[in-house]
Amino acid sequence: MKTILFIALLCVSVYSVTAQQQNKEDSVRAMISKQKADKAEVDALLYLSSLQIQMDSAIKFANQGLTLAKSINYEKGEADCYLILAAINVGQQNISQSLKYSFDALKIYKNIGDIQGAVLAHLILQGNYRQAADFNSSLAHAHEGLQIAEANNVIGKDRTFPGHRIAPLLLAEIGGTHLLNYQLDSALIYTQQSILKNEVFNGASWGFPVYLLATIQTELGDYESALKNYHLSIELSVKNGIYRDTLQNFSGMSTLFRKTGDLDSSIYYAQKVNRSWNLTSETKNLIEAVTNLGQSYKLMGKLDSAVKYIERSQVLKDSIYSIDKDREVQNIAINEKMKEQELIAIQVEYENKVKLYVLMAGLSAFLLITIILYRNSRTRQRAYALLQRQKQEPDIQKNKVEQALIELKSTQSQLIQSEKMASLGELTAGIAHEIQNPLNFVNNFSEVNTELIAELKAESVKPKAEWDESLIKETLDNLNDNEQKIVHHGKRAADIVKGMLQHSRSSSGVKEPTDINALTDEYLRLAYHGLRAKDKSFNAELKTDFDESIGNINIIPQDIGRVILNLINNAFYAVNEKLKVESSKLKAEVYEPTVSVSTKKDGNKVLISVKDNGNGIPQKILDKIFQPFFTTKPTGQGTGLGLSLSYDIVKAHGGELKVETKEGEGSVFTIILPITIS
């Protein structure tokens, strides 16, 4: 996507005089040599910049045009120069400079009412933010550009979608951004819209949206459809004359065959990318191909080849990482320089609010736990003193001791509730991620329904004899299907909110029929996305094996959910700690963090297991892990209450909490609950 955007915008020709003279570069240079210092000379310099293969030459002519445009107060020429400089800097990975030029161009285009230029500026901005992994800002600019393009039927300039609407390009870019953010439902919707609204170029449709569709289908496991679309995208790319786009299809096919176990085919297509890649190609395609080579050779037992390509893949990723770190530093300066830009201001304000809320929540939780622990300590001291005086005042002191025990139980209940609130804070990011998908789905299908209703209205104004009955029926069916999906995902969002509220409120102590599989799966996903939101570098393979024969069992869902969440969080912590150590070692076998969650019906009992492949628990501390306030985590990262409270909760349900561990290989925690079916 990066190269397509760069090449497309770099090829924008704003030289109006040379519509029939594109192959007459000498004539254009002759015009510049006259140095008339007028608008035609600015346009000629822009034209020469767009023709250059060497980036230094392209920058040189664009800067000359920019200087001249400013001196003669030619605003459109100035904006066009900024735009082509922004496109050049995208290709050179200089995202901060490209952002600056893009915003400068956008401001001028808005001032002079140049709609087409504003759309192209938004197009570059969304690509820049996507490369910086700021998907929200990328989508904001893409949607704004799309709204303008569709409202004004914007047509591409010269070689950028020549004579065709630019909306399909923006739809494809939106789909690609959702794909990178792994929002597959949204990615599929916008990609399909791009394909439907696509137009013919050089005798064939644009191949890039078809490649996107194939990649989405690969992620969804529809390998047969994905393979067909990869071949179709290659055919369209060749017909369009965009031969570089074949590499992204070959890298995608390599991933597809690796996932299906056809390692020879995976290696074949990965090597095609490896041999054909050059400096004008996209680095992400090479990384994908080299990674597949390393993994395929590893699965085939060819460790020498596997190590070779794994090391090369790491080098490529490290180079991208270095670029990303440079971008972060550069973006700080850019944000200070562009405070007047409303979008940046909103983003900074939002980030500051989130940090403030997180800090306040953390401080509140810490203060609450400290107060409760202090109260608990004081209550224990009073109980001890009462017991000491009990020999002298048996009856009176006995009543006081009983009252102290009641206070202890109350304090314990408060402590459990405070732990729940602390865990709710940890789950906030996971809940936000989980609720985003159904809400995106509702929003997207609502937009689709709006378009379908518009089509029905357009059909209704025709004479009844001209009505397309099949189109009307198909549109109504689509509306009905979309509404059902909106209702389904709306209920899904409501269930997530309901679960969050149940987790936060004090336990009623009343058991209720609960789907243990659904409860376990819910907390697994919330815990994973919550941790990913705090540490984007964290990644682990999740495995589930749920026994569908269990059905509903009577438990207190808030309490058992807390136990499951605690065990899953501990498993993620264990594999993440091991990954930090293993990543520093040079080994042929790459450590893959894995957390497995399973349920099983065993007679009149239910077993819930959480397994990790971390470092395991040393035997010398195994007997202490269920003791209150015992923790192996660094100071400030754990209170030592999680396993202790979990053990008490399971015991209160008449069950057991067991652990099996092997140092260096991992641990398995198993919750054993008696089945009482309602």
Q: Is the pLDDT score of 5 beyond 50?
A: no
d(CA 225, CA 230): 9
Give 303 or 368, the one with higher predicted confidence: 303
Question: Pairing between strand 605-612 and 594-602?
Answer: antiparallel
d(CA 269, CA 289): 8
The angle subtended at Cα 651 by Cα 650 and Cα 652, nearest 5°, is 90
Max avg pLDDT among 57-71, 126-140, 217-231: 217-231
- pLDDT computed for residue 230 by the predictor: 93
Q: Is the pLDDT score of 545 beyond 90?
A: yes
Q: Is the pLDDT score of 174 beyond 90?
A: yes
pLDDT one-digit tens code per residue, 345-357: 566 666 777 777 7
- pLDDT computed for residue 297 by the predictor: 92
Mean pLDDT over the full length of the chain: 79
Q: Is the pLDDT score of 433 beyond 60?
A: no
- pLDDT computed for residue 648 by the predictor: 86
- pLDDT computed for residue 156 by the predictor: 66
Eight-state DSSP code of residue 604: T
Eight-state DSSP code of residue 590: P
Spatial contact of 199 and 236, defined as CB atoms under 8 Å apart: no
Q: Which residues contact 28 (CB under 8 A, 6 or more apart)?
A: 15, 18, 21, 44, 47, 48
3-class DSSP assignment, residue 661 = strand
pLDDT one-digit tens code per residue, 563-604: 998 899 899 989 988 888 877 776 657 888 999 999 999 989
Nearest to 501 by CA among 435, 554, 440: 435
pLDDT one-digit tens code per residue, 200-236: 655 567 788 899 999 999 999 999 999 999 999 888 8
DSSP conformation letters of 420-472: HHHHHHHHHHHHHHHHHHHHHHHHHHHHHHHHHHHHHHHHHTS-GGG--HHHH
Q: How confident is the model at residue 162 (pLDDT cuts 50, 70, 90)?
A: low
Q: Which residues contact 105 (CB under 8 A, 6 or more apart)?
A: 79, 80, 82, 83, 86, 117, 121
User: Average of pLDDT values for 147-165?
Assistant: 71
Measured in residues, the chain has a length of: 678
Spatial contact of 65 and 50, defined as CB atoms under 8 Å apart: no
Tokens representing 178 are 């959702």
Q: Which amino acid is at 616?
A: G
Give 238 or 325, the one with higher predicted confidence: 238
- pLDDT > 70 fraction of the chain, expressed in percent and rounded: 74
Spatial contact of 570 and 614, defined as CB atoms under 8 Å apart: no
pLDDT one-digit tens code per residue, 466-478: 787 787 888 888 8
Q: Is the pLDDT score of 548 beyond 50?
A: yes
pLDDT one-digit tens code per residue, 245-263: 888 899 999 999 999 999 9
User: Average of pLDDT values for 626-631?
Assistant: 74
- pLDDT computed for residue 497 by the predictor: 65
- pLDDT > 90 fraction of the chain, expressed in percent and rounded: 24
- pLDDT computed for residue 503 by the predictor: 54
Bridge partners (DSSP) listed for residue 200: 205
> What pTM did the predictor assign?
0.48
